[in-house]
Amino acid sequence: MTDQDVPTTAGGRPALPGAEIGPVRAVPDAVRLLRFGAVTRNAHRIHYDAEFARSEGLAGPVVMAQLHGCLLHRAAAAFAGGDPRAVRALGWQNRAPASPGDRLAVTGTVRTVDAATGEVTLDLEETLDDGTVCCRGHAVVALPPSPDGEGSRRT
Amino acid sequence: MEAVATAVDLAERRARALVGRVEHRSLGVVRAAEAAEFARAAGETSACLVDPEDAGFVVHPMYVVSLLRGVPGAGDEEFRPDGMYRDEVPGTDGLDVALMAGGQDVRWIADVRPGDRIDVRRTLTEVARKGRGTGFLLLTAEKTYGTAERGVLIEVTERFIVR
């Protein structure tokens, strides 16, 4: 891989394996959970009914898995310069619940870079302030080709 | 004496009988305004996601894969007491079990566009018993989201936890 082949992020930084990503932060509160549940038609009571959530063994209402996914997606898109369509794949496992008002941060590292296709695979992690891992996942993003069309894929 | 089957046992038995069965669901037609509302609810601020009038507007890639139902929603009889849909997690209808999302793998093949009429195809592919004692079930389903005209747009592997 030559320097001209190295895909780069929005800021022109080379996307090299091991490079750090983020953090992208969010604090999904009870209002956001209500709004998100409404637009996705998710009426599962673990997301808004504290007593019911406790009866299920949770500490209280929890953030929806899909909302975690949206934050991971945002982090991957941000790495690709903010283009949401640059994210070609996203996977995650829910490891621990997050409560409304928790401060979430998505960080990660570049796992691999395919200079031929411009696709970069990211390892992602969403954590609480205390270090608890809520989600662990990965994304594949396609960095855009360079404006000069010579394949350097600089943005 | 044979042990009494737990709700998780029953769910496992039912789910195993459903492995390989293909289910279909329509999410209806994607509307730009509703996709923008989703993006706003998710906390996005980029005009390309939250403003349908923006020249670069795109449907949030997570929109249709996050939708549990399309318009006009579900009737009362479609819900479990816990608020989840009776058919959302295979094999659990009518059982007193706790349901949790286990995670997803989403692969975008093509953009979802306003006007697309989205059909979901779901197949339960794996049922695994995990943990000690009664433990829990880990169900894996393969889903595709697409239209009759454009074919498959998104592939999803989804995991549910039943305990």
CB of A44 less than 8 A from some CB of B: yes
CB of B95 less than 8 A from some CB of A: no
A64: left (phi over 0), alpha (psi -120 to 50) or beta: beta
Chain mean pLDDT for chain A: 88
pLDDT of residue B51: 98
Q: How many domains does chain B have?
A: 1
d(CA B17, CA B91): 9
Helix (H) or strand (E) holding A131: none
- Is A22 strand, coil or helix? strand
The backbone torsions φ and ψ at residue B134, rounded to the nearest 5 degrees and listed phi first, read -60, -35
- CATH 3.10.129.10 given to domain A3-142: yes
CA angle B6, B11, B16 (to 5 degrees): 130
DSSP string covering B77-107, please? GGB-TTSSBTTTSTT-TT----EEEEEEEEE
Rounded to 10 degrees, what is the CA torsion of B131, B136, B142, B143?
-140
pLDDT at A154 over 90: no
CA angle B58, B60, B63 (to 5 degrees): 135
Identity of residue A48: Y
pLDDT at A9 over 80: no
User: Which residues on B lie below 8 Å from A39 (Cβ)?
Assistant: 34, 37-38, 41
User: Which residues on B lie below 8 Å from A139 (Cβ)?
Assistant: none
d(CA A126, CA B110): 27
CB of B116 less than 8 A from some CB of A: no
CB of A121 less than 8 A from some CB of B: no
Which residue of chain B comes nearest to A40, CA vs CA? B67
As a whole number, mean pLDDT of residues B56-73 equals 97
Residue B64: which domain range?
7-162
Residues contacting residue A70 through CB under 8 Å, at least 6 positions apart? B42, B43, B44, B60, B62, B66
Residues contacting residue B142 through CB under 8 Å, at least 6 positions apart? B122, B123, B125, B155, B156, B157, B158
User: Which residues on B lie below 8 Å from A73 (Cβ)?
Assistant: 61-62
d(CA B127, CA B87): 16
Contact between residue A23 and residue A107 where contact means Cβ atoms under 8 Å apart: yes
Contact between residue A124 and residue A72 where contact means Cβ atoms under 8 Å apart: yes
b/e burial code for range B79-90 (CB count within 10 A of at least 16 → b): ebebbbbeebbb
pLDDT of residue A1: 36
Chain B interface, mutation test: which of A34, A68, A70, most B Cβ atoms within 10 Å?
A70
Q: Is B138 a domain residue?
A: yes
User: Which residues on B lie below 8 Å from A88 (Cβ)?
Assistant: 107-108
Which residue of chain B comes nearest to A136, CA vs CA? B103
CATH number at residue B32: 3.10.129.10
CB of A65 less than 8 A from some CB of B: yes
| Residue A36: CA count within 13 A, CB half-sphere | 27
Q: How many CB pairs under 8 A join A and B?
A: 104
Contact between residue A118 and residue A7 where contact means Cβ atoms under 8 Å apart: yes
Chain B interface, mutation test: which of A42, A52, A63, A68, most B Cβ atoms within 10 Å?
A42
Q: Is B156 a domain residue?
A: yes
How confident is the model over B126-146, as pLDDT tens digits?
Answer: 999 999 888 999 999 999 999
User: Which residues on B lie below 8 Å from A52 (Cβ)?
Assistant: 82
Q: Is B28 a domain residue?
A: yes
Q: Is B1 a domain residue?
A: no
Which residue of chain A comes nearest to B159, CA vs CA? A93
pLDDT at A149 over 50: no
Contact between residue B8 and residue B15 where contact means Cβ atoms under 8 Å apart: no
d(CA B102, CA A75): 20
As a whole number, mean pLDDT of residues B34-54 equals 98
**For the ranges A150-154, B84-88, B114-118, which has the lowest average pLDDT?**
A150-154
Q: Does the beta-carbon distance from A45 to B37 stay under 8 Å?
A: no
CB of A91 less than 8 A from some CB of B: yes
How confident is the model over A101-144, as pLDDT tens digits?
Answer: 999 999 999 999 998 898 999 999 999 999 999 999 999 999 86
Confidence of residue B1 (pLDDT cuts 50, 70, 90): low
Q: What is the largest CA-CA distance in chain B?
A: 70
Contact between residue B115 and residue B122 where contact means Cβ atoms under 8 Å apart: no
pLDDT of residue A12: 58
Strand partners, A120: A113, A141
User: Which residues on A lie below 8 Å from B69 (Cβ)?
Assistant: 41
Strand partners, B103: A93, B159
Q: Is B2 a domain residue?
A: no
Instruction: Write down the domain spans for chain A.
Output: 3-142
User: Which residues on B lie below 8 Å from A56 (Cβ)?
Assistant: 82, 98
